[in-house]
């Protein structure tokens, strides 16, 4: 692999080619299939990761014991960065969405990179801040919105990160099941199925196995705000 692949990552962007090559040589590359768990919430944080291709679903166990999808990681983003928030264990579970490829490094290298790689610490803490904002927004929606609004918000979050324009719709470019949407919205599979069926009849969405398209984004946005 060419070390230049690391230049797409903000925390490594200021490094020269020789430094990038040294960082790459200390990494391990792996491929995972859809649904593979990379680490579980509560596991010892032994490594940190960089997603090269695909997507990662971040899941948390909620107070009621249910599992909720709180974030998605995109190519070029770090994940499993427990050291950035002063933790010794992972605060969430990370699972592959579709096929994915990632690099990882032993966690002790985090402190070394933060000290020796220009921009590493600043950029990673900036990313942590962005994720905390996104997580807070999601949890606020769980607490304040009706279930129909939460499901609509979950679909809109997927569109924002993974939307791909087609001839007459916006397709979500990663595999998405109704169970995934239920976990993103703090809902049940039955409720999500009922809502999507109704929205399909109304011409707002189209869904089939692991594939969702938004036909009318403005109407879906209105549903997310109604109530």
Domains of the chain, by residue range, sit at 3-142, 145-225
Average pLDDT over residues 52-81: 89
Residue 3 has pLDDT above 90, yes or no: no
**pLDDT(227) > 70:** no
pLDDT given for residue 137 in this prediction: 86
Given the candidates 3.40.718.10, 1.10.3720.10, 1.10.10.10, 3.10.129.10, the CATH classification of the domain at 145-225 is 1.10.10.10
Per-residue pLDDT at 202: 96
Mean pLDDT of 172-198: 94
Distance CA 74, CA 227 (A): 32
To the nearest whole number, what is the mean pLDDT of the chain? 92
141: pLDDT strictly greater than 60? yes
In the numeric block, which tokens belong to residue 184? 């993103």
Residues 121-132, mean pLDDT to the nearest whole number = 89
CATH number 1.10.10.10 is the correct assignment for the domain at 3-142: no
Angle between helices 120-144 and 178-185 (to 10 degrees): 90
Q: Is the pLDDT of residue 50 over 60?
A: yes
Checking if the pLDDT of 218 tops 80, the result is yes
- pLDDT (average), residues 81-85: 91
Closest to 177 measured CA to CA, from 189, 168, 185, 165: 189
CA distance 34 to 40: 16
């Amino acid at each position: 692999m060419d070390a230049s692949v690391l230049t797409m990552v903000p925390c490594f962007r200021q490094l020269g080619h020789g430094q990038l090559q040294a960082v790459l040589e200390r990494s391990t590359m792996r491929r995972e299939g859809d649904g593979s768990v990379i680490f579980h919430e509560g596991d010892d944080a032994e490594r940190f990761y960089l997603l090269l291709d695909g997507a990662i679903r971040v899941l948390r166990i909620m107070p009621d014991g249910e599992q909720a999808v709180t974030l998605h990681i995109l190519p070029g983003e770090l994940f499993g960065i427990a050291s950035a928030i002063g933790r010794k264990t992972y605060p969430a579970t990370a699972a592959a969405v579709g096929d994915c490829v990632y690099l990882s490094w032993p966690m002790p290298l985090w402190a070394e990179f933060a000290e020796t790689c220009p921009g590493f610490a600043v950029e990673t803490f900036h990313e942590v801040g962005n994720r905390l904002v996104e997580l807070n927004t999601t949890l606020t929606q769980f607490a304040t919105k009706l279930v129909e609004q939460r499901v609509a918000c979950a679909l809109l979050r997927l569109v924002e990160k993974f939307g791909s324009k087609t001839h007459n719709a916006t397709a979500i470019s990663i595999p998405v099941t109704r169970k995934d949407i239920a976990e993103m919205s703090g809902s049940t599979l039955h409720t999500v199925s009922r809502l999507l069926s109704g929205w399909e009849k109304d011409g707002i969405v189209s869904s089939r196995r692991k594939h969702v398209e938004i036909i009318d984004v403005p109407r879906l946005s209105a549903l997310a705000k109604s109530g």
